[in-house]
Amino acid sequence: MESDGTRDVRGTHANPVPRPAVPREGSAVPPLPAGPPGVPPRPDGSAFLAWLRASRPEAAPGVWRFGYRPRPEQEPERIPTRQLLSGALIAFLVGWLVWSLLWNGYLGGWWVLPLELFTPDSWRQSNDQVGNAFLWYSYYTLIAVGIMLVVGRLGRWGEVWRRFGPPAWRATVPAAEPAPAPEQDPAEWPQLRHAGAHEAAERLAAEARAGLMRDVDHARISRAWQGVRSGTHTLASFTGAVLQDGSAACLHPSGERDLPARQARHDLLTGQVRLGTTADDPRNPYHYRGSGLALGPELLGTSLLAVGPAGSGKTGAVIRPLAESLCLHSLAGRAAVVAVGAAGAGLGPAEAYDVVVRIGHPESVYDLDLYGGTTDPDEAAAILAEALVGDLADPHPGGDSRRSTTVLAQLLGPFRAVHDRFPSVPELRQLLDGTPGPLAALRKALTDTGQESLLRELDARERQMAHPGDVGAVLADRIALLDRPAFAPFFDTSGQSRPFSLKALDHPVRVRIDLPQRGHADASRILARLVLAQFTASVTVREDRSLFACLLLDDASGVITPESVRGIQRLRSAHAGTVLTLRTLDDVPRPLRGPLLGATGCRMALSGLTPWDGQDFAEVWGKEWTETRDVTDRQIIAETPAGKAVHMLRRVITGQAPTARAVTVRQVERERWSASELAHGVPPGHAVLSLTTVQGEHAPPLLVDLRG
Instruction: Look at residue 318 and tell me whether its pLDDT is greater than 90.
Output: yes
Instruction: Look at residue 63 and tell me whether its pLDDT is greater than 70.
Output: yes
Residues 364-379: tens digit of each pLDDT: 999 999 998 899 999 9
Helix ranges (H only) for 498-560 are 521-539
| Residue 444 CB neighbours (<10 A) | 11
Burial (CB < 10 A; 0-12, 13-18, 19+), residue 260, is exposed
- Could you tell me which of 180, 198, 177 has the C-alpha nearest to residue 189? 198
Residues 113-159: tens digit of each pLDDT: 676 666 666 655 666 666 667 777 777 888 888 888 888 888 888 88
Instruction: Look at residue 23 and tell me whether its pLDDT is greater than 60.
Output: no
* Cα dihedral 564, 568, 569, 573 sign: positive
Residues 253-309: tens digit of each pLDDT: 999 999 999 999 999 999 999 999 999 999 999 999 999 999 999 999 999 999 999
Length of the chain: 708
Residues 444-498: tens digit of each pLDDT: 998 988 888 889 988 898 888 888 888 889 999 999 999 999 898 899 888 888 8
Instruction: Look at residue 1 and tell me whether its pLDDT is greater than 50.
Output: no
Instruction: Look at residue 182 and tell me whether its pLDDT is greater than 90.
Output: no
> For position 601, what pLDDT does the model report?
95
Strands in 351-443 per DSSP E: 355-358, 367-368
- Residue 382: what residue type? A
Which residue(s) pair with 338 in the sheet?
Answer: 511, 551
Q: What percent of the chain lies above the pLDDT cut of 70?
A: 88
Instruction: Look at residue 24 and tell me whether its pLDDT is greater than 60.
Output: no
Higher pLDDT, 428 or 182: 428
> For position 42, what pLDDT does the model report?
54
pLDDT band at 5; cut points 50, 70, 90? very low
d(CA 312, CA 504): 34
- Residue 284: what residue type? N
Question: Do strands 367-368 and 304-307 pair parallel, antiparallel, or not at all (unpaired)?
Answer: unpaired
How confident is the prediction for the chain on average, in pLDDT? 86
- Summarize the confidence of residues 47-53 as an average pLDDT: 92
- Summarize the confidence of residues 349-353 as an average pLDDT: 94
Residues 532-577: tens digit of each pLDDT: 999 999 999 988 889 999 999 999 999 999 999 999 999 999 999 9
Question: Do strands 272-278 and 548-553 pair parallel, antiparallel, or not at all (unpaired)?
Answer: unpaired
Instruction: Look at residue 358 and tell me whether its pLDDT is greater than 80.
Output: yes
Residues 207-245: tens digit of each pLDDT: 999 999 999 999 999 999 999 998 888 999 999 999 999
HSE of 470 in the Cβ direction (CA atoms, 13 Å)? 18
Instruction: Look at residue 348 and tell me whether its pLDDT is greater than 50.
Output: yes
- Summarize the confidence of residues 392-409 as an average pLDDT: 77
- Summarize the confidence of residues 503-524 as an average pLDDT: 91
HSE of 91 in the Cβ direction (CA atoms, 13 Å)? 19
Instruction: Look at residue 26 and tell me whether its pLDDT is greater than 60.
Output: no
HSE of 32 in the Cβ direction (CA atoms, 13 Å)? 3
| Across 146-155, 377-386, 589-598, least confident range | 146-155
> For position 20, what pLDDT does the model report?
40
| Residue 611 CB neighbours (<10 A) | 13
Q: What is the DSSP string of 449-512?
A: HT-HHHHHHHHHHHHHHTSTT-HHHHHHHHHHTT-SGGGTTSS--SSSS-EE-GGGGGS--EEE
> For position 21, what pLDDT does the model report?
43
Helix ranges (H only) for 548-639 are 562-569, 590-599, 611-621
Residues 621-674: tens digit of each pLDDT: 998 888 777 778 777 787 788 877 777 877 766 667 777 778 788 888 888 999
Residues 416-432: tens digit of each pLDDT: 999 999 999 999 999 99
pLDDT band at 111; cut points 50, 70, 90? confident
Instruction: Look at residue 11 and tell me whether its pLDDT is greater than 60.
Output: no
- Could you tell me which of 332, 205, 202, 357 has the C-alpha nearest to residue 267? 332
